[in-house]
Chain A
Amino acid sequence: MKKNGPIELIFHTVFILFLIAPLAAVVLVSFTDKGYLSIPTNGPSLRWFRAIFDYPGFIDAFWMSLYLGLASATFAIAVAIPAAIAIGRFRFTGRDAITGFFMSPLMIPAVVMGVSFLRFFNQIGLSGTFIGITMAHTILIMPYALRLVLASITGLPRDAEQAAATLGASRWTVFRRITLPLILPGIAGGWLLAFITSFDEVTMSIFVASPETMTLPVRMYHHIAQTIDPLIASISTVLIVVTVVLMLALDWFYGLDRILVGKG
């Protein structure tokens, strides 16, 4: 194993500082005791965290994002599991096309999806509804859910399934008792990644969200477009903490590097 020299380590340190700096800035500012943007000088104050509760708009938006993430991640994973079995276990005509179709939201700019859903929901009467935005999110996060489930299915040895089948288990029993438990980490990881993606999504949601279905990132975006104050920093800090907790959960279920490096 070769070692990094001093130049490499300096580069690395600067790089890491560059990555952390804006997040650190957000967290620092959120602990200020002043009424304006500043770094806390007389120790941390929780003033702006308490202030969040005076803004029901943000609280409602948080719950909205939570329900939306739960609904769309669950829906996406429910659709992704059978699709992943089809793609991972069978060779059939149109397999590549179908895979490409399911992965296509990664290639379509979020703005394009946003304007398309805006028009579509307007025409069919779903604009501003929870169902509408849930559908939109399900499409957007489907590639993430599918990729992780697919990765766990492709890497699965088949001998246990074959043994069960030989011993007379029905297809459904084999799936429920053998396959499903084995791919559960992939399902859990895919669900979590889908949830986080939905929870964070802003661009597409800006077009689809109505005042009743406004998600937290969308409300934050509109707030920042008007004014940047310590309140938005404290809300962001809460979001950072929530994301880090979810990230650790994801790491626990599936291994963060495996998900992100995408060995599947």
Chain B
Amino acid sequence: MSTAATVESRPYWLSAPGLVLFASMLGTPLLMTLVLSFYGFDFTKGIQPGFTLANYVEVLSDSYFHKIFLRTFLISLAVTAICILLGAPEAYILSRMRNPWKSLFLIVILGPLLISVIVRTLGWALLIGGKGMISEFLQLVGITDEPFSLMFTQTGMIIALVHVLVPFMVLSVWASIQRIDPQAEDAALTLGASKMTVLRRIVLPQIMPGVLSGSLIVFALTASAFATPSIIGGRRLKVVATTAYDEYLNTLNWPLGAAIALLLLVANVAIIMSYNRFIEKRYAKIFE
């Protein structure tokens, strides 16, 4: 189909519809939000076109926003750590299963990714609420006398987010396990290495790229998560995404909301980029 010589114009024509769509429908809105973030805002007069850094100064200097950004960061860190501890071993266990169990459980683990985040979060609200099933169960068994609720707590938010995001970790580690030569493990065992040594010296180093790229996805998605923190955290326990939402749809201070949203975007892109670079450098050989 393609000829190697001369400048070929066909690929540009073929990608043109997408490029036009993306430039007009994604590029323009993002640029407009950037411009908006430099506008002023007055509670009586509304949005004031112009150029001011006031919104960024406010977000970066106000301890109220510091707390929200710090909370978002710490929750993302916790969720990522728990996802590693749960997801990586599970992917390894899964890889040692036989079919049909392997395929079955892979679908059970990955399937929830396709189920709406609203439904999954609702499930946790039903489980961990004051009248929820876990509370009822604990009272029934007699561990506690009072209703026990994790709704509107950071712990509850972390549990629900781990549930929403852990499939990504399993997926990512699973993909790197596929690349492991099973004979390396056998060879080490034959040569007298203990199971622990094999795990530590053979398996772990080889699944590290998967763990790292999984953490990246989980961290980035937690940091920008909206629906789960909003439902489980409620109005008081705000994260960055829910704060941007409030500025837009409750306070109606769009310029400030735009500044918060863009800081979130920049942080997200920076993390992903630096991480990618790190992984490429550190593990370039493995991916070859």
Q: How many interface contacts (CB-CB < 8 Å) are there between A and B?
A: 256
Contact flag A243-B28 (CB < 8 Å), given A1-B98, A22-B123, A119-B36? no
Chain A residues 114 to 163 lying within 8 A of chain B, measured CB to CB, are 115-120, 123, 135-136, 138-139, 142, 158, 161
A100 to B110, CA, bound (A): 25
A81 to B201, CA, bound (A): 44
Contact flag A115-B1 (CB < 8 Å), given A83-B15, A203-B241? no
Q: Which of B19, B105, B133 contacts A98 (CB 8 A)?
A: B19
User: Are B258 and A115 in touch, CB under 8 angstroms?
Assistant: yes
Query: Is there a chain A Cβ closer than 8 Å to B118's Cβ?
Result: yes
| Complex contacts, A16 vs chain B, CB 8 Å | 105, 108-109
Residue of A nearest to B9 (CB): A92
Query: Is there a chain B Cβ closer than 8 Å to A51's Cβ?
Result: no
Candidate in A16, A37, A89, A221 with the most chain B CB atoms within 10 angstroms: A221
Q: Contact mask A15-30 → B, CB, 8 Å, 1/0?
A: 1101111111110010
A220 to B220, CA, bound (A): 25
Query: Is there a chain B Cβ closer than 8 Å to A177's Cβ?
Result: no
Query: Is there a chain A Cβ closer than 8 Å to B80's Cβ?
Result: no
Query: Is there a chain B Cβ closer than 8 Å to A40's Cβ?
Result: no
User: Are A102 and B175 in touch, CB under 8 angstroms?
Assistant: no
A165 to B12, CA, bound (A): 22
User: Are A23 and B123 in touch, CB under 8 angstroms?
Assistant: yes
Residue of A nearest to B110 (CB): A260
| Complex contacts, A262 vs chain B, CB 8 Å | 171, 175
| Complex contacts, B185 vs chain A, CB 8 Å | 2
**Binding site secondary structure of chain A:** helix
Contact flag A112-B131 (CB < 8 Å), given A8-B93, A23-B123, A243-B115? no
User: Are A112 and B262 in touch, CB under 8 angstroms?
Assistant: yes
User: Are A111 and B261 in touch, CB under 8 angstroms?
Assistant: yes
User: Are B1 and A161 in touch, CB under 8 angstroms?
Assistant: yes
User: Are A109 and B268 in touch, CB under 8 angstroms?
Assistant: yes
| Complex contacts, A246 vs chain B, CB 8 Å | 114
Q: Chain B nearest CB: distance from A122 CB in Å?
A: 9
Query: Is there a chain B Cβ closer than 8 Å to A236's Cβ?
Result: yes
| Complex contacts, A25 vs chain B, CB 8 Å | 123, 126-127, 133
User: Are A111 and B1 in touch, CB under 8 angstroms?
Assistant: no
Binding site for B on A (CB under 8 A): 1-4, 8-9, 11-12, 15-16, 18-26, 29, 37, 39, 78-80, 82-83, 85-87, 89-90, 92, 95, 98, 101-102, 104-105, 107-113, 115-120, 123, 135-136, 138-139, 142, 158, 161, 165, 171, 174, 196, 199-200, 202-203, 206-207, 217, 220-221, 224-225, 228, 232-233, 236, 239-240, 243-244, 246-247, 250-251, 256-257, 260-262
Subset of 13 A-B contacts with CB under 8 Å: A11-B90, A16-B108, A22-B126, A22-B163, A25-B123, A25-B127, A79-B17, A89-B1, A111-B226, A207-B248, A221-B231, A239-B119, A243-B116
Closest 10 CB pairs of A and B: A22-B123, A109-B224, A120-B29, A116-B29, A86-B14, A86-B11, A90-B11, A200-B116, A82-B14, A203-B226
